[in-house]
Amino acid sequence: MLINVKTFISKYMIVLVLIGLVTLSGIISPAFLKPRNILNIFWQTSYMGIIAIGITFVMIAGGIDLSVGSQLALLGAFAVVISNKLSDQLHSTFVVISLTYIIAALLGLSMGFLITKGRIPAFIATLGGMAIYRSLVLHFANGGVYVSFSRSFSGLGMKFIVGLPLPMLIFVIYAIIMHVMLEKTKFGRYVFAVGANELAAIYSAVNINFVRITTYVISSISVATSAVLLSSMMGSVSSSSTGVGFELDAIAAAVIGGTSLSGGKGSIFGTFFGALILGVINNMLVMLNVAVYLQSLVKGLIIIIAVLLQNINVSKS
């Protein structure tokens, strides 16, 4: 019986950390617990969270994707520009979304090929991607902002379904689908195998290149989803500041959630809650009116403590 409680705690430690943070914030600032605020947290977290879920696949297979932040700006800008060029109707929004996904898939494929067949280390290739994508976005806007003039496109991001904001619903549904893909499909099993021991996976007749490339496509598709949602809600994409720092937040969310930086370990469940923890922290800082120059300190401390708590359990078991 005692063993069961211990394993329960270690498995769900991250949820306990989240509950702990929420409780703490709620005590210091009751407004934190207002339903509207909780909703906001989910909403605000969705954009980064969807990307974090995609990046989890990449990381479990032993890779990394630093280009997601710039990719977000690039794909968002693409969506805005295309939607402006087409007629302002619902079906053209559908076209815009489809095209954005296609471009994203192509970007993911290219990155995947560079890293597998091209043998360029993932860190370098995606770092290059980060710079190239951002440069492209800046260039075509001359450093300015891409503004959307399409009503139907802008309306998408602000939609509420059954009283919940669309981005939040998509975040949750996406997490569920990806969880199933990772844990309950052949592909998901191979992702773990490739990341845990690449050589053994090769000997076991796993097509490691296919697996790796697909994870980058998944990452880009995730970015596309977030890009469409974000750019439509904001009605614009800033070539200089949109998506900046997202890659670090997404990776942090995955790592807080238990994804190993060296591959072979991770879960969508963990990343989901890791993202929420980051979202709660960001919200806490505003709600508690933490002084400007202390914000990074507080954020950094909480992240470290959250990971430490999880490590304590790992070493015990």
Site for another protein in 54-113 (CB under 8 A): none
Site for another protein in 298-317 (CB under 8 A): none
| Integer CA distances (angstroms), 177 to 48, 59, 72, 184, 217, in order | 17, 18, 21, 10, 16
Q: CA 266, CA 271: separation in Å to the nearest integer?
A: 8
Contact call for residue 189 and another protein (CB under 8 A): yes
Written as one string, the DSSP assignment of 240-268 is TTTTTTHHHHHHHHHHHTT--TTSS---H
Q: Binding residue for another protein (CB under 8 A) from 205, 262, 315, 316? A: 205
| β-strand pairing of 164-165 with 236-238 | unpaired
Residue 67: closest CA among 117, 121, 108: 108
Query: In the complex with another protein, which residue's Cβ is closer, 235 or 257?
Result: 235
| Least distance (Å) between residue 239 CB and another protein | 7
Q: Binding residue for another protein (CB under 8 A) from 9, 20, 44, 159? A: 44
Query: In the complex with another protein, which residue's Cβ is closer, 264 or 274?
Result: 264
Among the candidate windows 86-94, 96-104, 196-204, 247-255, which touches another protein by CB under 8 A? 196-204
Surface-to-core class of residue 92, CB atoms within 10 Å of its CB (0-12 exposed, 13-18 middle, 19+ buried)? middle
Q: End-to-end alpha-carbon separation of the chain, Å?
A: 15
Contact call for residue 203 and another protein (CB under 8 A): yes
| β-strand pairing of 160-161 with 164-165 | antiparallel
- Which helix (H) or strand (E) segment is 237 a member of? strand 236-238
Query: In the complex with another protein, which residue's Cβ is closer, 90 or 183?
Result: 183
Two structure tokens written together for 109:
């494929």
Count of residues interacting with another protein (CB under 8 A): 56
Written as one string, the DSSP assignment of 106-128 is HHHHHHHHHHHTS---HHHHHHH
**71 bridge partner residues:** none
Q: At 144, is the secondary structure helix, strand, or coil?
A: coil
Number of CB atoms found within 10 A of residue 317's CB: 10
Q: Binding residue for another protein (CB under 8 A) from 24, 81, 120, 138? A: 138
Q: Binding residue for another protein (CB under 8 A) from 120, 127, 132, 196? A: 196
Residue 219: closest CA among 97, 62, 59: 59
Q: Binding residue for another protein (CB under 8 A) from 90, 124, 158, 297? A: 158
Contact call for residue 285 and another protein (CB under 8 A): yes
| Least distance (Å) between residue 65 CB and another protein | 20
| Least distance (Å) between residue 102 CB and another protein | 25
Among the candidate windows 166-174, 178-186, 267-275, 308-316, which touches another protein by CB under 8 A? 178-186
Q: Binding residue for another protein (CB under 8 A) from 136, 295, 298, 309? A: 295
Site string for another protein, 233-262 (x = CB under 8 A): xxxx-xxxxx-x------------------
Residues forming contacts to another protein in the complex (CB under 8 A) are 29, 31-32, 34, 36-37, 40, 43-44, 138, 141-145, 147, 158, 180, 184-186, 189, 192-193, 196-197, 199-207, 230, 233-236, 238-242, 244, 264, 282-283, 285-287, 289, 292-293, 295
